[in-house]
Amino acid sequence: MDDSKRSHDFLWIVLFLIVFINGFEAGGYQASLWNIGKNYDLSVTSMGLFASVELFATMLAPLILGGWADRTGKAKCITILLALQITAATLIFFTDAEKFFIGGVFFLGLTTSALQFISIAALIDAYPISGSKKIGYITSMYAFGALTSPLIVNYYLGKGLSWRTLFALLAIGSTVSLIGLFKTKNTATETAVAGDSAQSKNSAGEFIIGGILLLCTIMCIYVGFENGFAFFVDTLFTDVLKSGIGKYALSLFWAVMIPSRVIVGHFSKYARQILLTATAAIPIITIILTNSENSMLVLLLCIPLGFASGAIYPCVLNIMKTMAGKKTATATGMITTATGIGGVIFTALTGKFGDLFGLRKAIMCLAGFFIISFLSAYFAGKIHNRNNM
C-alpha cells in the first residue's frame, strides 16, 4: 500500500515536469530564433516560416491525438510521445541540415502540444480528489518554464555555447521524465468517494459537447487576447507612450500568472465565480489601461490584468472535468486546438486593427470579445452546476 501511494505521489511530479519542459521549449525556441536564423542565413520572413512550422504542428496535434489518447491509454501515449520528443531534440542537436531541423521542429511542436493536453488529462484522471488543486499548479508550470527559459538561453549563449544547447536540455529533461514515468509503474491509487469531490461526479458520465464548446470559445478568446497583448504591449510603450519600460510590463504580465493559477487551484470549488469575475475584469482593466497616458500606471495595471488572465485556464479545466466524462484527453485536446486558433486569428487582428485604428483602440477591441467569453462562462457555469447537483 505504501509503495503504491509513493508511486501515485510521484506521478504528479513527472506530469508537472513534462509540462514545465514544454513551456521551457516554447520560450527557449522563441529566444533562440534570431540565432537559428543567423545559423541558416534566414530572412525575417523565413524566420517567421520556421516559427510557424512548430505552431502548425501545435494546432494539429490535438485534432489527431485527443481521441487516440482516450482509446489507447494516456500513460502509454505519454511514453510514446516522450520517446519521439527525445529523438527529435537529439536529431536537431547533432545534425546541421536545414531539412532535418525543420522536420525535428515539426515533431517537437506535435509532441509538446500533445504532451501538454494529455498530461493534464492524465492528472485529472489519476487525481479525482486533489486534481483541482493540482490543475492550478500544472498550468503554472508551463508559464514558469516559458518565463525562465529565455534567461537560461541568454546565459549559455553569453558563455559561448551553441543555440543547439536548448535541444540538448530538452532531450535530457524528456529522458528524466520518461524514466520517472516508468518508475511510477503507471499507477494511481487516489479513489473518489461520494462527497469527496463534487467535480468528479461526471467522471464516468456523458461527454457534454455543448459545454465543452463554450469552454473552447472562452479559451480561444482568452489566448487570442493574451497573445495579441503580449506581442504588442512593448510597441504600445515604445511608439504610443514613448517609454522604454514595455519589456518590464510584459514580464510582470506573465509573472503574475504563476501565483494566480496556483491560487485558483486552491479555490477550485469557486471556479465558475472566478471565471465570471476574470472575464468581466479583463475588459474593464484594458479600457483603463489603453486610455492612460501615464506609462507607470499602465505598467502597474499589467499586474491585475495578468492575474485575471492567469485565472482563466485552470478555471476552464476544472469546469471541464464535469463535462468530459471519460474523454478527458478529447476535451483537453479540443480546448488546446481552440487556444491555437485564437492565438493565430486574434494576433493577426490586433496588427490589422492597429494599422486601421491605432494600437490603443486595437487592444481595446480585442478586449471587447470578452463579452462573448462572459456569456459563454455564464452558460457553461449553469451546465457545471447542473452536473454537480
Based on the fold, state whether residues 254 and 381 are members of the same structural domain: yes
Where would I find the H helices in 159-242?
Answer: 165-184, 209-235
DSSP state of 236: I
Q: Are 286 and 364 in contact (CB under 8 A)?
A: yes
- pLDDT confidence of residue 3: 45
**Is 36 part of a structural domain of the chain?**
yes
Nearest to 249 by CA among 240, 338, 11: 240
Tens of pLDDT along 81-128?
Answer: 999 999 999 999 998 888 888 888 888 888 988 999 899 999 988 888
**DSSP three-state, residue 159:** coil
| Residue 139 sits in the same domain as residue 209 | no
Letter for the amino acid at 121?
A
* pLDDT, position 48: 55
CA distance 9 to 187: 10
Domain count within the chain: 2
- Exposed/middle/buried for residue 389 (C-beta within 10 Å: 0-12, 13-18, 19+): exposed
**Dihedral, CA atoms, 126, 129, 131, 137, nearest 10 degrees?**
-130
Looking at residue 4, its pLDDT comes to 46
155 and 57 part of one domain: yes
Whole-number pLDDT of residue 64: 81
Asked if 37 and 50 count as a contact pair (C-beta separation under 8 A), the reply is yes
**Are residues 98 and 210 both part of a single domain?**
no
In a domain, 192, yes or no: no
Q: Are residues 279 and 320 in the same domain?
A: yes
Based on the fold, state whether residues 124 and 171 are members of the same structural domain. Answer: yes
- 191 within some domain: no
**Longest CA–CA separation in the chain, Å:** 64
Whether 29 and 160 share a structural domain: yes
pLDDT per residue as tens digits for the range 353-388: 888 888 899 899 999 999 999 999 999 988 877 776
Show the beta-strand stretches assigned E in the chain: none
Residue 82 counted as domain residue: yes
CA dist 77 and 83 (Å) reads: 10
Write out the residue range of the structural domain in which residue 35 sits.
Answer: 2-184
Of 156, 184, 212, the residue that ends a domain is 184
135 with 284, same domain: the answer is no
pLDDT of residue 204: 54
Query: Which residue positions in the chain have pLDDT lower than 70?
Result: 1-9, 42-52, 54-55, 185-205, 388-389
pTM above 0.95, yes or no: no
The last residue of one of the domains, among 118, 153, 184, is 184
Question: Does 279 share its domain with 337?
Answer: yes
Cell numbers for 44: 525575417
Which residue type occupies 225? F
Does residue 189 sit within a domain?
no
Check if the beta carbon of residue 376 is closer than 8 Å to that of residue 315: no
CB 132 within 8 Å of CB 265 = yes
What is residue 43's predicted lDDT score, i.e. its pLDDT?
64
Rounded to the nearest 10°, the torsion over CA 312, 317, 322, 323 is: 100
Tell the residue number behind the cell numbers 479540443, with chain if given.
334
Give the CATH number for residue 37. 1.20.1250.20
Q: Does 158 map to a domain? A: yes
**Burial class of residue 44 (count of CB atoms within 10 Å of its CB; 0-12, 13-18, 19+):** exposed
Same domain, yes or no: 17 and 166? yes
71 inside domain = yes
Assigned domain for 381 exists: yes
In the block, cell 476544472 appears at 318
From CA 319, how far away is CA 377, in angstroms rounded?
Answer: 10
Contact between 193 and 310 under an 8 Å Cβ cutoff? The reply is no
Q: Please identify, among 162, 184, 206, the residue that sits at the C-terminal boundary of a domain.
A: 184
DSSP secondary structure code for residue 129 in this structure: T
Query: Would you state the pLDDT for residue 65?
Result: 82
Q: What is the pLDDT, as a whole number, of residue 199? A: 46
User: What is the end-to-end Cα distance of the chain in Å, rounded?
Assistant: 33
**Contact residues for 267 (Cβ-Cβ < 8 A; gap 6+):** 274
Shared domain check, 348 and 266:
yes
Question: How far is Cα 251 from Cα 236, in angstroms, rounded to an integer?
Answer: 15
Rounded to whole angstroms, the Cα distance separating 8 from 193 reads: 17
pLDDT at position 33? 72
Looking at residue 7, its pLDDT comes to 44
Place of cell 499586474: 303
Residue 237 sits in the same domain as residue 129: no
